[in-house]
Amino acid sequence: MWLFVQGLATQSFASRLGDKMNIYPVKGYSITIDLKDELSKSCAPSVSLIDQPVKIVASRLGDRFRVAGTAELAGINTDIRQNRIRPLLDWVEKYFPNVSTETYTPWAGLRPMTPNMMPITSESRMKGVFYHAGHGHLGWTLSAETANQVVAKIEAAS
C-alpha cells in the first residue's frame, strides 16, 4: 500500500514520521468579480494576464473575472484583510475602468510553500509514504509534472 501526502497537513504529518519539512502556509488573496452588465462582459479581458511588477494575475472565468495577488505569512489564518483586497480592486479600476467592481467576492486561501519555493517530491523515511507538497502559488502550474516525478519514484521503489 502507498500513501500520498500533500497540502498544509504535510508538515505535522511528516513530523510524526520523523521527516523534517519546512512547509509554511502562505496566505494569498483574490477577488472574483461578477460581470453582470454587458459593458463589463465586453471590457473584461478574455485571456489570462500577469502584471509582474505588482505581482497580480487575472483570469476570465465565463461571466466572472478573477484577480489575485499579494501574499503574507499569517499562520493558519484565512481572515480577509481589506487592505489586501483594495489593491486588487484598484488594479481592475485602473486597467479596466469599464468593468464594474460593484459586485465581487473576496477570498483568502493558504498555499503550502517551502522557503525556496521548490516543491517536495520525496519518499519518507517510512517506506511507502511519498510527499507531494509545498508548491505554493505555483500549485496548479507545477503539480501535474511533479506528480509524474513522484509516480516515477513510486515505480522505482516497487
Q: For residue 154, is pLDDT > 70? A: yes
Under DSSP, the state recorded for 79 is P
* Length of the chain in terms of residues written: 158
Q: For residue 104, is pLDDT > 60? A: yes
pTM, full prediction: 0.78
The more confident residue out of 65 and 11 is 65
Question: If you average pLDDT over residues 67-75, what whole number do you get?
Answer: 90
Domain ranges of the chain: 3-22+115-157, 24-113
In sequence order, the 6+-apart residues with CB closer than 8 A to the CB of 51 are 57, 58, 69, 91, 95
In words, the CATH class of domain 24-113 is: alpha beta
Q: What is the pLDDT of residues 30-61, one digit of tens each?
A: 999 999 999 999 999 999 999 999 999 999 99
CA distance 35 to 42: 9
CA-nearest of 90, 100, 89 to 31 is: 89
- pLDDT on residue 136: 79
CA-nearest of 143, 150, 145, 139 to 110 is: 139
